């Protein structure tokens, strides 16, 4: 499976929940994951992909944050 470039989603939705379609189009976003999910369902997305976008891009390797 090829890597998924989430750069634009990270830039725009940092720290928020997003609901996406299967082809990774954002249909809802916000601070409350349940509300974001429900909004996506109300927009007709039967099974939205729910993802919490991290606030920062920290890396954890072998006991230390980089």
Tell me, what's the pLDDT at 63? 64
Task: Spell out the residues 6+ positions from residue 8 whose beta carbon is closer than 8 angstroms to its own.
Answer: none
DSSP string for 36-66: HHHHHHHTT-SSPEEEEPPSS---EETTEE-
pTM of the predicted model, to two decimals? 0.80
Looking at the predicted structure, is the pLDDT value of residue 57 above 80?
A: no
Model confidence pLDDT, tens digit, residues 2-48: 878 888 999 999 999 999 999 889 999 999 999 999 999 999 999 99
Q: What is the pLDDT of residue 1?
A: 66
Q: What is the pLDDT, as a whole number, of residue 49?
A: 95
Whether the predicted pLDDT of 59 surpasses 90: no
């Amino acid at each position: 499976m090829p890597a998924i470039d989430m750069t634009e989603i990270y830039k725009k939705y940092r720290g928020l929940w997003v609901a996406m379609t299967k082809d990774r189009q954002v249909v809802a976003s916000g601070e409350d994951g349940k509300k974001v999910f429900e909004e996506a369902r109300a927009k007709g997305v039967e099974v939205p992909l729910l993802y919490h976008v991290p606030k920062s891009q920290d890396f954890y390797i072998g006991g230390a944050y980089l």
